[in-house]
A = this chain, B = another copy of it.
Amino acid sequence: MAKAYEKIADELRAQIRAGQLEPGDRLPSEADLIKSSGRSGPTVQQALRVLQAEGLIEKQHGRGTFVRRPRTLVQRTNMRHQWEKDRARAPEQKRLETGSTEHDTGLGVNDLVFHAAYREIEAPKEIAAAMGVDEGTALVERTYRTRYNAERNPFSLVTSHLIRDVVKGNPDLLDETKEPWPGGTWNQLLTVGIEIDRIEDRVTARPPTVEEAEELGLPPGTSVLVLRKTSYDTDNRIVEMSDVTLPGDRTEMLFTTHLERW
């Protein structure tokens, strides 16, 4: 006994996969589906909800229901790590020219809008454990939002943590008005004598929280990539840790691993 809403969903899904309904096409209106299926409104709506949760369709209030366009625009690579390290020691003129986000996106500085906020906090349990410090250790927490000039919503949410005692040698590092800092965090760390040796990127996926969906402007039926980036210095200490939330449907992360030759 197939459930009524599943039957409706299956039919529409088959049409989308077969290409009878192409990305951008409008689906039959709910009223049409009610008539053609002989089912009630809520049943038809449940069928559409299923497809929406699969990321196949997108509802637009007052306009109709449409087949979603796949999109993967922003690529984020681990080559950026070496690039960022090199840039940290470049002359200031060069450092001013471009940031790591422009490196990823291939855009100029003027196409992007940054916002940064700093505050000092005491390390909560989870952060302390991940950074290998005691709970309550003084940290500098920095949050960043980056968006395209032409768009309303940012395409990444970043929260970065530094250990206060490690960076206090340069008071500018505690001052958010110095952002954007030419040469980025790595140049900041260089000013207090820190060299980064390796990066660990931890990636998981989950549905967005309401707050993330709101800030990133994510429609229902999308996932976020959650990236925790941990930076180790040449003494094998964790000197920075960032949590990055990225929209799953427009981000591709690329990691290249070179292997030893035989």
A225 proximity list for chain B (CB < 8 A): 203-205
* A140 interface contact, C-beta 8 A: no
Copies of this chain present in the complex amount to 2
**Inter-chain contacts of A201 with B (CB < 8 A):** 254-257
Which secondary structure characterizes the binding site on chain A? mixed
Contacting pair B202 A253 (CB below 8 A): yes
Residues of A225-255 whose CB lies within 8 A of B: 225, 234, 248-249, 251-255
Partner of A255, one of B85, B200, B207: B200
Beyond A54-B210, A203-B253, is A197–B78 a contact (Cβ under 8 Å)? no
B contact residues around A205 at 8 Å (CB): 205, 223-225, 248-249, 251
Which chain B residues border A252 with CB–CB below 8 Å?
A: 202-204
Nearest B residue to A81, CB-CB:
B257
Report the separation of the CA atoms of residues A13 and B209 in the bound assembly, to the nearest whole angstrom: 10
A87 to chain B minimum Cβ distance, whole angstroms, is: 12
Question: Taking the complex as formed, is A72 at the interface, i.e. its CB lies under 8 A from any CB of chain B?
Answer: yes
Known contacts A72-B204, A203-B225, A225-B205; decide if A195 and B78 are in contact (CB<8 Å).
no
Residues of chain A in range 185-215 having any CB-CB distance to chain B below 8 Å: 195-210
A89 within 8 A of B: yes
- Closest-by-CB residue of B relative to A53 is B207
Contact A200 B254 (CB under 8 A): yes
Which residues in B have their C-beta under 8 angstroms from that of A203?
203, 225, 252-255
Which residue of B49, B222, B234 contacts A206 across the interface (Cβ within 8 Å)? B222
Cβ contacts under 8 Å, A197 to chain B: 258-259, 261
